[in-house]
């Protein structure tokens, strides 16, 4: 009784890869691309290569290299088909099938690893929050002259896109904004800068502050206009 027909897993996988590649633009060879000798050895014996090899990851992610890999595989298969039938023994068929299965496993695992890495990177994208802080009624005070009765403004421990309404009589221009543990500290918890626009009584400074490393508690917010004699301080609570 003839053997039951077995699907050609290698052809199925390579056809699947080719169908995916057809939906992607053709890339050009770059300095990071692997050489022909590696592609040839990869195509012949994928099981001998580790998934940790950065060259394997590059081949699976580079449209130029994966296309060249498929071409080499095709050339190798055509060469095997041209060999005289007398030298094609059954053991070689089994070896080729095993190599094809290993190749499928290596490429599949590499592709899955790359997709998982991209998914992890997407989850780590920075999330920013928008905040508006109004200092228009705070006045401008330097150092210890700041009245303690003023309620502190608050910001979250996050990456903050801050719109700061400066105190009345503040001039537009280039400002540096910093957050310190106290007025005597020289190491800023966060620092930013920008160009304040508008005119009294509403001069606005837009700045981004990274407060993710700040612990909840009391701080001071420092603003200094370029050309002024020093910074102004305001009480700040980080939540």
Write out pLDDT tens, residues 122-166: 445 668 899 999 998 886 555 545 544 678 999 999 999 999 999
Give the mean model confidence (pLDDT) for residues 35-62.
76
Q: How confident is the model at residue 75 (pLDDT cuts 50, 70, 90)?
A: confident
Distance CA 168, CA 134 (A): 10
Q: For residue 61, which of 102, 22, 33 has the smallest C-alpha distance?
A: 33
What is the structure's pLDDT at 84?
59
Structure tokens at 229: 């004699």
pLDDT for 122: 47
Share of the chain above pLDDT 70, in %: 70
Instruction: Quote the pLDDT of residue 216.
Output: 93
Instruction: Average the pLDDT over 177-190 and give the result.
Output: 90
Higher per-residue confidence, 7 vs 214: 214
Are the CB atoms for 155 and 236 separated by under 8 Å?
A: yes
**Does residue 63 contact residue 24 with C-beta atoms inside 8 Å?**
yes
pLDDT band at 225 (very low <50, low <70, confident <90, very high): very high
- What pLDDT is recorded for position 93? 63
Residue 215's pLDDT is 92
pLDDT tier at 100 (50, 70, 90 boundaries)? confident
- How far is Cα 161 from Cα 131, in angstroms, rounded to an integer? 6
pLDDT at 204 over 50: yes
Residue 186 scores a pLDDT above 70: yes
Average pLDDT, the chain: 77
Residue 132 has a pLDDT of 93
pLDDT at 198 over 90: no
pLDDT for res 3: 45
pLDDT band of 104, cuts 50, 70, 90: confident
- Pinpoint the residues of the chain covered by CATH 2.60.40: 128-238
The CA distance from 36 to 156, in Å, is 53
CATH topology of domain 128-238: Immunoglobulin-like (2.60.40)
- At residue 85, does pLDDT exceed 60? no
Residue 205: its pLDDT value, please?
A: 93
Q: What's the pTM?
A: 0.46
């Amino acid at each position: 009784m003839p053997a039951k027909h077995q699907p050609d897993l290698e052809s199925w996988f390579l056809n699947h890869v080719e169908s995916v590649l057809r939906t992607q633009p053709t890339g050009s060879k770059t300095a990071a691309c692997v050489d022909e000798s590696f592609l040839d050895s990869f195509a012949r014996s994928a099981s001998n290569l580790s998934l940790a090899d950065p060259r394997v990851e590059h081949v699976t992610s580079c449209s130029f290299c994966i296309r060249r890999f498929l071409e080499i595989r095709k050339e190798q298969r055509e060469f095997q088909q041209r060999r005289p039938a007398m030298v094609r023994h059954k053991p070689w068929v089994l070896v080729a099938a095993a190599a094809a299965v290993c190749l499928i496993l290596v490429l599949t695992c590499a592709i899955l690893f790359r997709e998982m890495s991209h998914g992890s990177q997407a989850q780590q994208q920075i999330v920013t929050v928008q905040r508006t802080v109004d200092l228009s009624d705070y006045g401008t005070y330097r150092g210890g002259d700041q009245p303690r009765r003023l309620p502190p403004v608050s910001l979250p421990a996050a990456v903050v896109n801050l719109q700061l309404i400066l105190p009345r009589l503040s001039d537009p221009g280039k400002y540096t904004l910093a957050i310190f543990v106290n007025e005597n500290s020289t190491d800023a918890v966060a620092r930013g800068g920008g160009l304040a626009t508008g005119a009294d009584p509403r001069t606005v400074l837009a700045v981004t502050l990274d407060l993710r490393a700040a612990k909840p508690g009391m701080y001071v917010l420092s603003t200094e206009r370029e050309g002024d004699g020093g910074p102004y301080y305001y009480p700040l609570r980080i939540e």
